[in-house]
């Protein structure tokens, strides 16, 4: 089985909120999740071609793909307290009437904690399975992975026989149970991957279809030691 290897550079910070964490306390996974990588390719196809139908084809080409990641030897994570705008909650009839009349702003100012990840080295992504050969051209056009401000550019795309042994993959709940029974020490991060039954209409915000059961829970197990300060930590990958 052939793998596509992407050498990815993050010129700034990366952020991807841990699944089910509150947006007011947005701690980050230290690596891109499988779903964020796959959906970034889909978004890239739509952005570069202007054709939603092409995005649909790419979605099914990458949905069932296998993802592996070779992280840098060190990953720095800093936690910041930021001011943000969030959609205003309409709680009373009076607020609802004011909102309809345009007397109530659509957004309100609030504060939150957010983590940002810094990679001192380039990250290698390995992708295989599905119909990957048909979407290789879009890999070079990737501009972000995860949140919209997690900018990337791809330095190199090449075919390889297989990922190195230190490549990390997201594992299922069953694999997770077996792994934690071992004597190895891991730092555990929950992530999301696309379900094999997911439909493009479910991730298309304009389709009106339910997004239920689009994702499945998986886990990154990182063999790493953590050094921590008041608002920072460094993961040293073993």
pLDDT: which is higher, 31 or 87: 31
Phi then psi dihedrals of residue 140, to 5 deg? -65, -20
Phi then psi dihedrals of residue 161, to 5 deg? -75, -45
Give per-residue pLDDT as tens, 157-187. Answer: 999 999 999 999 999 988 888 887 776 788 9
pLDDT at 44: 94
Give per-residue pLDDT as tens, 212-228. Answer: 789 999 999 999 999 99
34, 67 Cβ separation under 8 angstroms: yes
Tokens of 60: 């099914």
Give per-residue pLDDT as tens, 69-97. Answer: 999 999 999 999 888 777 777 778 777 77
Q: Is the pLDDT of residue 20 over 80?
A: yes
Rounded CA-CA distance 209/85 in Å is 27
pLDDT at 134: 87
Rounded CA-CA distance 237/222 in Å is 7
Give the model's confidence band at 195: pLDDT under 50 very low, under 70 low, under 90 confident, else very high: very high
State the residue for tokens 């004011």.
Answer: 98
Task: Please choose, from the candidates 64, 107, 66, the residue with its C-alpha nearest in 3D space to the C-alpha of residue 89.
Answer: 107
Count of positions (residues) in the chain: 238
CA angle 180, 181, 183 (to 5 degrees): 85
Helix (H, G, I), strand (E, B) or coil at 200: helix
Phi then psi dihedrals of residue 170, to 5 deg? -80, 130
Domains of the chain in start order, with CATH, are 3-237 (3.30.70)
Q: Dihedral through CA 79, CA 85, CA 89, CA 94, nearest 10?
A: 140
């Amino acid at each position: 089985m052939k793998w596509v290897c992407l050498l990815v550079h993050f010129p700034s910070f990366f952020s991807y909120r841990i699944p089910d964490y509150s947006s007011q306390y947005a701690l980050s996974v230290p690596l891109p999740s499988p779903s964020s990588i796959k959906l970034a390719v889909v978004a890239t196809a739509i952005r570069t071609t202007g054709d939603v139908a092409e995005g649909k084809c790419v979605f099914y080409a990458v949905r069932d793909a296998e993802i592996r990641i070779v992280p840098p030897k060190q990953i720095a994570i800093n936690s910041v307290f930021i001011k943000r705008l969030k959609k205003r909650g309409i709680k009373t009839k009076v607020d609802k009437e004011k909102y309809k009349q345009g007397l109530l702003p659509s957004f309100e100012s609030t504060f939150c904690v957010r983590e940002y990840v810094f990679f001192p080295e380039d990250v290698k992504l390995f992708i295989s399975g599905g119909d990957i050969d048909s979407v290789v051209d879009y890999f070079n056009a990737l501009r972000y992975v995860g949140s919209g401000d997690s900018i990337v550019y791809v330095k190199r795309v090449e075919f390889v026989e297989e990922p190195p042994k230190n490549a990390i993959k997201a594992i299922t709940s069953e694999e997770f149970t077996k792994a934690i029974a071992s004597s190895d020490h891991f730092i555990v991060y929950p992530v999301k991957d696309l379900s094999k039954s997911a439909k493009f209409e479910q991730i298309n915000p304009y389709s009106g279809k339910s997004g239920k059961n689009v994702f499945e829970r998986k886990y990154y197990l990182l063999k790493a030691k953590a050094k921590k300060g008041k608002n920072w930590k460094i993961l040293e990958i073993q």
